[in-house]
Chain A
Amino acid sequence: MKIQKKFCILICCCALCVMRYVVPCFAQGNDKLVLLSKQIIEAKTDDELYGYFEELSNIYFEGNKYTEFIDFLKSLAEKKKKIEPFINYYVGLTRYRQLKYLEEKQIWDEYFSQGNTYRDEITAAMQKVVDTAQVSEPLRLYARLILWQFHKDQQDVFVDQALTDLMDSAFEYAKTAHDTKPIKIVADKLSSYGEKGKSKELYRIYADKTISSEIKDDELKEIAFGFYKEGNLDLAETFYDVYIGRLIKNLNPQKTVPLLIDIARQFSYKDRQPNDPLYAEKIFEKIEGLAGEKGFDQDLIYLRALNLEKAKEYVKAKDLYLKLIDSKAPYLDKITYKIGIIYTYILGDIKQGKDYFGKLAQKQSPIGRASLYQLGLLAQWQNDPDKAKECYNKLTENTGELAASPETISLANERLREIEDGEPLEYSLRTFLDAALKERNLSLQEKGISLNCHPYEAKKNEEVNIASTSYTSSSGCLQVEIQYLWSGQLGKTKPSADTPSFSTSYSEAGTKEINLVVVSPSGITGANFDLLDID
């Protein structure tokens, strides 16, 4: 008994200790609630209410206390009739958040037993807001937004109509309201849901309304750059467009071009920073329009070409690389190799491709050896084993170079073995070469397959992720066996035919081409290739 008594005392002490911390916290929260309630009741304008309700909802949402919040809202509604639209909005929002929470946390009993009731509450409450709030009130727009998000999440039949209603509400709101922030909030949400076209429409409205004639060019540029840093490229581009429009209108080309170059550099492809190669190219075109070819020095031509290469605009990239071919740029060998690759595999012009590889073949460097390998490979594919052997042998004869080009030499040895054993080219490689060089009706940039590497500019032994996505038509529960025939310079990994993506690394420098052919039971469904650079 004594032990039991002691144990009880110990428990009580512990409980008191815990209460010492918990009660003040609860009381603090309570105090905040009391204060916010008071502020809401005493608020004289709707503008004040937005902030108070936001704060209030955050307190409850942080603790996932959804039903408690609804009870609180109802008690608040009894005290002040005028806040009814806010109460309705937050009831709907709370149920929306609650449903998402139940699904995310897999609290299924409540989800199944109350789900339909909550759904009805969301639509009913938001509809009341739409019916009672003025067109110029942000609350009405937010209610439309939640209704659209709700139907979008449910993937139900009402989603198209909900989106139309949301956009209509946003346009109506923009006509009458002065506060532009709600438009941006809606645009951001649309963008995060992948509705890029719609979000751009609203960003344009937001920019038009935000940018008054008083705002200075530098401020405008700063705002645009701020959105760029946030990673909101759509909005940044919208602001930059206005900024560029002003520059072109107000400044002479000599002053405009350097500023445009900065923007083009900013948006050009980079592995680890926000970029939009197509937007960058749009700016490059403006530079060209203003200054002609004089607007571009060697480095800028190279940047533009590389940017186009990453945008998979290979032919345009090749044309720009050709402008640098007589220069003494440090990347001359690299661009010569790339011109050879593009002529060969994109344009199917083997003769031109060989010419460019030939320019490099005598060089004692990784790129020289890679060019020799390409020459050997093309000869082997063209059934000229002697010529192929000659190239491969030249490439492998100096064993001292093994350390500098282990991967290329290994590939060359494989090809030599095939020739010596009288075997055909390795199946995946031959299928790719046939697709690229013989069956020219099969474009390498087949829309059915996308292929991407990350990073595109890697260091030796750095991990590179290579991923493909093939867009094949549905086959229901009848699974179609898809084969991924990888070839080219794949680094240390040998991906199997059933994998659409893999990670690898390279121990030698140079430009690496990744080849892919996707095959289904009905034959080749597409092919693609990509280039990456190892420093």
Chain B
Amino acid sequence: MKLSTNKRNTIEHQGICHRDTGFKPVHRCTGALVFLFFLSFLLGASFKPASKVSVKKLKNGHFRLLVDRKPYIVKGVCYNPIPIGKNHESDWWSDPNKPWIVDGKLMKEMGVNTIRIYQPGDNPEEVKKVIRDLYELYGIRTILGNWLGFWEYPCPFYGDKDFQERVKNEVIRMVELYKDEPGVLLWILGNENNYSCLGRVNPWSNDEIDKEPDPQKKNAIRARIYYSFVNDIAGKIHEIDPNHPVALGNGELLGLESANQYCPDIDLVACIIYRGRTFGNLFNSLKATFDRPVVIAEFGADVYDAYLKKEDQNMQAFFLESQWRQIYSNIANAPQGAGNCLGGTIFEWSDEWWKHDENNPDSWKVHDTESNWSNGSYYFDIKAEGNKNMNEEWFGIVALSEELEDGLNKRIPRKAYYVIREFWKNPTIKKPKVKGKK
């Protein structure tokens, strides 16, 4: 299944500048592959070759994601089905009750075509099983990511070569393990790691940074080191996997002027954005700073009104519907939009009850209503005490019940699930005329 080790390039294809990985599609492949296909067919295995996923730049400068040459809009959810009473260390991949089967069915009914996994589990066979089940049963593709050591204690030492090497090897191992899975859509490197370059979140340093007295220059050095490191990994991935684009996970657009300088091998940006009902000028700003397409890899709204102290499903649905309208206004060939959006993955599929007080196992069984961060763009409940209105445990578009059904917490879709389902059925954005008759 390994096709080539050529570096990715940009090719001219039928007059269209084609940002592509530059390799032959799998279905044009050798007789050996055909033989393998029939062999597996004969053996009864439902074998499918890995899809060819690429990013295409259109004549008008817009971007489109292609899967096996067909346009693909990412209609996704971030997926981390932690059961009530467990925390993030819970190995749901090995759950004999297979939560992804139940979730996949609901997702398919909603219209979800993609899930985003922040980092795969430890057992490759279990991970493959999940990816295959979702793809083969429901046609749902998987975005696989890696934290790039962001949460390592005491901090991610991006300025340290040994640390870089270790993280890079971990990512390469992930790619080698899953690149031939037909359900894999693309890779995301990091999440909001760029905030650490400003020294405010998970701050890190090295001798070069320590010697620099100017705080602005310190940040610039961190950005150079971090984005060069990510680009190095992206280049390596392209060498071993020509079939899947590589995304840079990035909080907001911070640091992307550095990415523009140091990340030529990045195919797209996976942005994490919490700006309320809108993404503002994000799409045009991205075009100006780092002209790559974007998947909004984390966005959404919590469902708990911290001011009125009650669940408000309409509030969540309101924000999500508005956000999806923005996404569709900016996909390729949408009238007047930036045309650089490839879709999005909602944060998140189901609630995670462990998040508020993550070191206290007793609280994992409790759906905490205490907020620990504030965001004025989510204005309905911003008058909550201390303006803390964002409830980490309540971001799911599917609620979890303590009641068990086939060994799993019962799934209860929220209003946003239905509202987005309806939106996806008819997401047309009509073109307003720019100029009228004089």
Q: Which of B159-216 contact A (CB under 8 A)?
A: 192, 195, 198-201, 203, 215
At the interface with chain A, which of B6-14, B104-112, B270-278? B270-278
Proximity string of chain B (87-113) to chain A, C-beta cutoff 8 Å, 1 when within and 0 when not = 000000000000000000000000000
For the complex, is B365 an interface residue (Cβ under 8 Å from A)?
no
How far does the alpha carbon of A130 sit from the alpha carbon of B435 in the complex, in Å?
8
Residues on A with C-beta less than 8 A from B374 are: 479
How far does the alpha carbon of A165 sit from the alpha carbon of B432 in the complex, in Å?
12
Closest residue of chain A to B436 (Cβ to Cβ) is: A130
Counting chain B CB atoms within 10 Å of each CB, the highest count among A158, A161, A523 belongs to A158
For the complex, is B373 an interface residue (Cβ under 8 Å from A)?
yes
In the complex the two chains form, is B201's CB within 8 Å of A127's CB? Answer: no
In the complex the two chains form, is A127's CB within 8 Å of B284's CB? Answer: no
Is the contact region of chain B dominated by helix, strand, or loop, or is it mixed? loop
Proximity string of chain A (454-475) to chain B, C-beta cutoff 8 Å, 1 when within and 0 when not = 0000000000000000001111
How far does the alpha carbon of A316 sit from the alpha carbon of B280 in the complex, in Å?
39
Closest residue of chain A to B375 (Cβ to Cβ) is: A477
In the complex the two chains form, is B434's CB within 8 Å of A165's CB? Answer: yes
In the complex the two chains form, is B321's CB within 8 Å of A523's CB? Answer: no
Report which of B201, B337, B437 forms a contact with A475, defined as CB distance below 8 A: B201
For the complex, is B338 an interface residue (Cβ under 8 Å from A)?
yes
For the complex, is B59 an interface residue (Cβ under 8 Å from A)?
no
In the complex the two chains form, is B373's CB within 8 Å of A477's CB? Answer: yes
At the interface with chain A, which of B119-127, B129-137, B325-333? B325-333
In the complex the two chains form, is A520's CB within 8 Å of B200's CB? Answer: yes
For the complex, is A208 an interface residue (Cβ under 8 Å from B)?
no
CB distance from A182 to the nearest CB of B (A): 16
Proximity string of chain B (413-437) to chain A, C-beta cutoff 8 Å, 1 when within and 0 when not = 0010001001100100010111111
Q: Which of A114-129 contact B (CB under 8 A)?
A: 115-116, 120, 123-124, 127
Closest residue of chain A to B373 (Cβ to Cβ) is: A479
For the complex, is A480 an interface residue (Cβ under 8 Å from B)?
yes
In the complex the two chains form, is B278's CB within 8 Å of A130's CB? Answer: no
Assuming the contacts A112-B419, A127-B433, A475-B195, asked whether A135 and B278 have C-beta atoms less than 8 A apart, the reply is no
How far does the alpha carbon of A347 sit from the alpha carbon of B325 in the complex, in Å?
52
How far does the alpha carbon of A478 sit from the alpha carbon of B194 in the complex, in Å?
11
For the complex, is B5 an interface residue (Cβ under 8 Å from A)?
no
Assuming the contacts A157-B338, A475-B251, asked whether A522 and B215 have C-beta atoms less than 8 A apart, the reply is yes
Residues on B with C-beta less than 8 A from A131 are: 433, 436-437
For the complex, is A67 an interface residue (Cβ under 8 Å from B)?
no
Proximity string of chain B (386-417) to chain A, C-beta cutoff 8 Å, 1 when within and 0 when not = 10001010000000000000000000000100
CB distance from B333 to the nearest CB of A (A): 14
Closest residue of chain A to B150 (Cβ to Cβ) is: A478
For the complex, is B283 an interface residue (Cβ under 8 Å from A)?
yes
Residues on B with C-beta less than 8 A from A475 are: 192, 195, 198, 200-201, 251
In the complex the two chains form, is B433's CB within 8 Å of A474's CB? Answer: no
How far does the alpha carbon of A10 sit from the alpha carbon of B374 in the complex, in Å?
56
In the complex the two chains form, is A156's CB within 8 Å of B437's CB? Answer: no
Residues on A with C-beta less than 8 A from B201 are: 475, 478, 480, 521
Q: Which of A130-188 contact B (CB under 8 A)?
A: 130-132, 135, 140, 147, 154-158, 161-162, 165, 172
In the complex the two chains form, is B192's CB within 8 Å of A157's CB? Answer: no
How far does the alpha carbon of A345 sit from the alpha carbon of B251 in the complex, in Å?
38
Q: Which of A338-372 contact B (CB under 8 A)?
A: none
Report which of B283, B284, B314 forms a contact with A108, defined as CB distance below 8 A: B314
In the complex the two chains form, is B200's CB within 8 Å of A120's CB? Answer: no
For the complex, is A63 an interface residue (Cβ under 8 Å from B)?
no
How far does the alpha carbon of A475 sit from the alpha carbon of B128 in the complex, in Å?
34
How far does the alpha carbon of A394 sit from the alpha carbon of B195 in the complex, in Å?
51
In the complex the two chains form, is B329's CB within 8 Å of A132's CB? Answer: no
For the complex, is A60 an interface residue (Cβ under 8 Å from B)?
no
How far does the alpha carbon of A154 sit from the alpha carbon of B5 in the complex, in Å?
47
How far does the alpha carbon of A120 sit from the alpha carbon of B335 in the complex, in Å?
14
For the complex, is A279 an interface residue (Cβ under 8 Å from B)?
no
In the complex the two chains form, is A161's CB within 8 Å of B434's CB? Answer: yes
Residues on B with C-beta less than 8 A from A155 are: 277-278, 280, 326
How far does the alpha carbon of A120 sit from the alpha carbon of B251 in the complex, in Å?
33
Residues on B with C-beta less than 8 A from A157 are: 283-284, 326, 329-330, 336-338
In the complex the two chains form, is A130's CB within 8 Å of B433's CB? Answer: yes
In the complex the two chains form, is B251's CB within 8 Å of A111's CB? Answer: no
Residues on B with C-beta less than 8 A from A112 are: 317, 321, 419, 422
In the complex the two chains form, is B430's CB within 8 Å of A474's CB? Answer: no
Closest residue of chain B to A111 (Cβ to Cβ) is: B318
Closest residue of chain A to B198 (Cβ to Cβ) is: A473
Counting chain B CB atoms within 10 Å of each CB, the highest count among A116, A156, A172, A498 belongs to A156
How far does the alpha carbon of A479 sit from the alpha carbon of B201 in the complex, in Å?
8
For the complex, is A327 an interface residue (Cβ under 8 Å from B)?
no
In the complex the two chains form, is A474's CB within 8 Å of B252's CB? Answer: yes
CB distance from B61 to the nearest CB of A (A): 15
Report which of A103, A123, A130, A522 forms a contact with B198, defined as CB distance below 8 A: A522
Closest residue of chain A to B252 (Cβ to Cβ) is: A474
| Residues of B in contact, count (CB < 8 Å) | 50
CB distance from B382 to the nearest CB of A (A): 14
Residues on B with C-beta less than 8 A from A474 are: 251-252, 254
For the complex, is B261 an interface residue (Cβ under 8 Å from A)?
no
Closest residue of chain A to B196 (Cβ to Cβ) is: A478
For the complex, is A106 an interface residue (Cβ under 8 Å from B)?
yes
How far does the alpha carbon of A498 sit from the alpha carbon of B388 in the complex, in Å?
12
Residues on B with C-beta less than 8 A from A132 are: 437
Closest residue of chain B to A479 (Cβ to Cβ) is: B373
For the complex, is A476 an interface residue (Cβ under 8 Å from B)?
yes
Closest residue of chain A to B432 (Cβ to Cβ) is: A123
Assuming the contacts A130-B436, A161-B434, A478-B192, asked whether A473 and B317 have C-beta atoms less than 8 A apart, the reply is no
In the complex the two chains form, is A521's CB within 8 Å of B280's CB? Answer: no
Closest residue of chain A to B392 (Cβ to Cβ) is: A477
Residues on A with C-beta less than 8 A from B422 are: 112
CB distance from B296 to the nearest CB of A (A): 12
How far does the alpha carbon of A108 sit from the alpha carbon of B419 in the complex, in Å?
11
For the complex, is B438 an interface residue (Cβ under 8 Å from A)?
yes
In the complex the two chains form, is A523's CB within 8 Å of B215's CB? Answer: yes
Closest residue of chain B to A523 (Cβ to Cβ) is: B215
In the complex the two chains form, is A172's CB within 8 Å of B283's CB? Answer: no
Report which of B198, B274, B430, B433 forms a contact with A120, defined as CB distance below 8 A: B430
Proximity string of chain B (272-310) to chain A, C-beta cutoff 8 Å, 1 when within and 0 when not = 111001101001100000000000000000000000000
Proximity string of chain A (471-500) to chain B, C-beta cutoff 8 Å, 1 when within and 0 when not = 011111111100000000000000000100
For the complex, is B30 an interface residue (Cβ under 8 Å from A)?
no
CB distance from A98 to the nearest CB of B (A): 16
Report which of B280, B435, B437 forms a contact with A165, defined as CB distance below 8 A: B435
In the complex the two chains form, is B200's CB within 8 Å of A522's CB? Answer: yes
How far does the alpha carbon of A478 sit from the alpha carbon of B195 in the complex, in Å?
9
Assuming the contacts A474-B254, A476-B195, A477-B390, asked whether A156 and B326 have C-beta atoms less than 8 A apart, the reply is yes
In the complex the two chains form, is B203's CB within 8 Å of A147's CB? Answer: no
Proximity string of chain A (230-265) to chain B, C-beta cutoff 8 Å, 1 when within and 0 when not = 000000000000000000000000000000000000
Residues on A with C-beta less than 8 A from B321 are: 112, 115
Residues on A with C-beta less than 8 A from B372 are: 479
Residues on A with C-beta less than 8 A from B251 are: 474-476, 478
Residues on A with C-beta less than 8 A from B435 are: 165
Give 24 pairs: A residue, B residue, CB < 8 Å, sorted on A: A106-B314, A111-B318, A116-B423, A120-B430, A130-B436, A131-B437, A132-B437, A154-B278, A156-B278, A156-B326, A158-B329, A158-B336, A162-B432, A172-B438, A473-B198, A473-B254, A475-B198, A477-B192, A477-B272, A478-B195, A478-B251, A479-B373, A479-B374, A523-B215
The 5 closest A-B pairs by CB, nearest first: A130-B436, A155-B278, A522-B199, A108-B314, A476-B251
Chain A residues close to B by CB (< 8 Å) = 103, 106, 108, 111-112, 115-116, 120, 123-124, 127, 130-132, 135, 140, 147, 154-158, 161-162, 165, 172, 472-480, 498, 520-523
In the complex, besides A157-B326, A157-B336, A473-B254, 15 extra interface pairs with C-beta distance below 8 angstroms are: A103-B318, A106-B314, A123-B432, A156-B325, A156-B329, A157-B284, A157-B330, A158-B432, A165-B436, A476-B251, A477-B192, A477-B272, A478-B251, A521-B201, A522-B215
